[in-house]
Structure 1
Amino acid sequence: MTRRVTIHDVAEAAGVSVATVSKAVNGRYGVAPETMARVMHHVDALGYESSLVASSMRSRRTGVIGVLVADFEPFSAEVLKGVGRALAETPYDLLAYSGSHRDGAGWERRSLSRLSGTLIDGAIMVTPTIVNVTSDVPIVAIDPHTGRADLPTVESDSFGGAQQAVRHLVELGHRRIGFIAGRPDLRSATARDAGYRAALAEAGIALDPALVGVGRYEGDIARDAALRMLSLEDPPTAIFAANDLSALSIIDVAQERGFSVPHDLSVVGFDDVPEASRAAVPLSTVRQPMQRLGAVATELVLALLGGETPDQTHIRLPTRLVARATTAPPR
């Protein structure tokens, strides 16, 4: 059995006192920025998890389930609704926590270190940035990382959903179909990319690298990719975006450049966030059950807290195409 990394190990590796490590991992004052950075580097490198509970077998419960999100954007907001509803009939409360994700990979580990054993009984990580994590509390990942799946996970059928989106465009008569991909370290993004390519191959359409960009699930980055794609001498007649935020950015860019949606450009997103149906031109998209993702992840965490062994620890939920006003046959 691998020995648990201690605070003394981190202090020795970083060349500081145990007290300094304690201040750094708990976000307290009195640590110089360069020292903080050095300590947190060794915390992540060694996989240290702090806890104010002396024993790994906790003597009390907090009655709180924590949800760690990178940002409170439409996807995570819908997931949180599902978690909240699943907890409504239980004695547990919900704590939504957004860590310092812009500090780089591993922000969840630092967040769990602060929360585990003192504030939460279990945790749900939404679109995590880390591959492996250990904690004193049960953890479930929603939209997991591409790395080794050593955590229980809940995700949507991204591959099948992407296939549905591209098949819809092919059936409308499109042959130049662009794709703006998601965050490449998430399984959802790699699956949507694979689904796009599989649907093109199925239709006998050769992949054109000029029609593939990366949006990382972020509207601003997707906007840049769309601008490049729509500036081509032979632009696409349709674009499939890996999420709705990217799709809505594509529509903005298209309209700024004089493209009419859907007559000059068809656009399909993925998620079906509330903004998709409320847009000026309602967005065609692939609906994934975002609230259900949160509810199922909550059920898993509660089962683990109860000492149960769930029948499934890697769950994939179905998706379906919702055709609205942003898709039509090409001119």
Structure 2
Amino acid sequence: MNRRATIHDVAAAAGVSVATVSKAVNGRYGISTETVRRVLDAVQLLGYESSLVASSMRSRRTGVIGILVADFEPFSAEILKGVGAALRESSYDLLAYSGSGQHDGNGWERRSLSRLSGTLIDGAIMVTPTVVTAETEIPVVAIDPHTGRADLPTVESDSFGGALQATRYLIELGHRRIGFVAGRPDLRSAGLRDAGYRRALGEAGIPFDPSLVRVGLYQRETAREPALSLLRSPDRPTAVFAANDLSAIAIVQVAAELGLEVPGDLSVVGFDDIPEASQMNPALTTIRQPMQKLGAAAAGLLVALMNGETPAQTHIRLPTRLVPRATTAPPRVS
């Protein structure tokens, strides 16, 4: 089998540096017409025609949309499904990209966009990005950005309204000591869920008690210790609202380890409605945010921008709803 030609092969055949080939591919200034012609000739000679890079060099389009995620976890996986379904009947392919753990809070999205835009993708969807400004020539849409609305078109769920529903539901069941396991402090959506929890308590005349709040950071592993601390407290809550399902699942597991019955001794409500929520035993009561619809809405918005259209909305917020299941019940009467 013949080895596939690389950018180094193209550079050698054209008698130029790899950097020059890269500049020619990206259509940057400072490359003479004669040099570009030699690079194109080398591409054709080496059979490099089928690559996305060669195609983009000729047409300035790759026919590929990129979706950039910090990690491949349940939320981003559902987003991917929604984007994929929305693009199924289109002419676009989908490239899912994660920066290999280089998510240090200093703009991993900018680095990723720099690597991909122009030669591999025609547009990008960023999931929970830390930055909401992007110096790139391609259209970009952000899903659930850390800071909320900003320069980029955005798609998000109603985090505040969902948290309000969850806490109101527990209050309606008769709970008064309601704990909260919060998400990541750097995410605006997590702050909105905290605000919704507090608003529902205030509406019911229940004083906010900071001793009932822990930070779970949205991961099952990081939520375990906060859950243990909360459930081992002398005056533990009779119910807990978790800012996402992974944290809620950790709370249910910790409750079982401590000999607490769910929902007899402890009611638990999550947020997201990931597939595992309905499959666990007992099935998790949760707030459903339409994750696949978030992906589909972002894809539709991005395609419109790529086609030069002006969308009716550039900041989309989708509703959430309560899904009652088996982890919630009225508090046990002593």
Query: Could you tell me the TM-score, scaled by structure 2's length?
Result: 0.81
Counterparts of 1:274 and 1:304, CA distance in 2: 31
Please say which of residues 293-302 and 144-153 is displaced more in the overlay: 144-153
Match of 1:114 in 2: 115
Aligned partners of 1:268 and 1:326 also within 8 Å = yes
User: Which deviates more from structure 2 when the two are superposed, residues 241-250 or residues 126-135?
Assistant: 126-135
What does residue 206 of structure 2 align with?
A: 205
Deviation at 1:135, TM superposition (A): 1.4
Residue number in structure 2 paired with 1:70: 70
Aligned to 1:40: none
- The structure number with the bigger radius of gyration is 2
Change (3 A) 1:141 1:317: same
CA deviations over 1:165-192 (Å, ceiling 9, x no partner)? 0001000000010111112222211111
For the residue of structure 1 that corresponds to 2:261, the secondary structure is coil
Residue 162 of structure 2 is matched in structure 1 by 161
Q: Which residue of 2 aligns with 1:92?
A: 92
Are positions 1:194 and 2:167 aligned together?
no
Which residue of structure 2 aligns with residue 298 of structure 1? 299
Q: Would you say the 8 A contact 1:174–1:238 is kept in 2? A: yes
Q: 1:36 aligns to what? A: none
Letter paired with 2:114: S
Question: What residue number does 2:81 align with?
Answer: 81
Which secondary structure state, in structure 1, belongs to the residue aligned with residue 268 of structure 2? strand
Taking the aligned partners of 1:93 and 1:318, their CA distance within structure 2 comes to: 28
Please report how far the alpha carbon of residue 295 of structure 1 lies from its aligned counterpart in structure 2 after TM superposition.
0.2
Shift of 1:64: 0.5
Cα distance, 1:279–1:251 mapped onto 2, change above 3 Å: same
Q: Which runs of 4+ in 1 moved over 3 A?
A: 54-59, 100-103
1:65 is paired with a residue whose SS is: strand
DSSP 3-state at the match of 2:67 = strand
User: In the comparison of the two structures, how many residue pairs are matched?
Assistant: 285
Letter in 2 for 1:231: R
Give runs of aligned pairs for residues 1-331 of structure 1, distance below 5 A. 53-55=26-28, 60-105=60-105, 106-146=107-147, 149-331=150-332
1:55 Cα deviation after fit: 4.7
Stretches of structure 2 that go unaligned for 5 or more consecutive residues are 1-16, 30-55
Local SS of the residue matching 1:72: coil
1:217 deviates by: 1.1
SS in 1 for 2:298: helix
Partner amino acid, structure 2, of 1:70: A
CA distance in 1, matches of 2:212, 2:284: 20
Displacement of 1:51 in angstroms is 11
SS in 2 for 1:292: helix
| Separation in structure 1 between the aligned mates of residue 78 and residue 321 of structure 2, nearest angstrom | 17
Q: CA RMSD in A?
A: 2.0
How far apart are residue 130 of structure 1 and its match?
A: 2.2
- 2:129 aligns to what SS in structure 1? coil
Amino acid in the other structure paired with 1:319: T
Q: Give the secondary structure class of the aligned counterpart of 2:317.
A: strand
Counterpart Cα distance in 2 of 1:223 and 1:52? 49
C-alpha separation in 2, matches of 1:51 and 1:160? 50
Partners of 1:67 and 1:94 within 8 A in 2: yes
**CA displacement, residues 266-306 of structure 1 (integer Å, 9 cap, x when unaligned):** 00000101100000110000001110000000001101000
Deviation at 1:134, TM superposition (A): 2.1
Distance 2:103 2:307 in 1: 34
* Residues in 2 aligned to 1:208 and 1:267: alpha-carbon distance in whole angstroms: 18
Query: What TM-score, normalized to structure 1?
Result: 0.82
The structure-2 alpha-carbon separation of the partners of 1:235 and 1:135, relative to structure 1 and needing over 3 Å to count, comes to same
Answer yes or no: is the 8 Å Cα contact 1:269–1:283 preserved in 2: yes
Work out the CA distance in 1 between the residues paired with 2:133 and 2:186: 13
Letter in 2 for 1:124: I
Cα contact 1:51–1:114 (8 A) shared by 2: no
Conservation of the 8 A alpha-carbon contact between 2:70 and 2:103: no
Distance 1:51 1:321, change over 3 A: farther
Shift of 1:101: 4.0
Once the 2 structures are TM-superposed, how far is the Cα of residue 80 of structure 1 from its aligned partner?
0.4
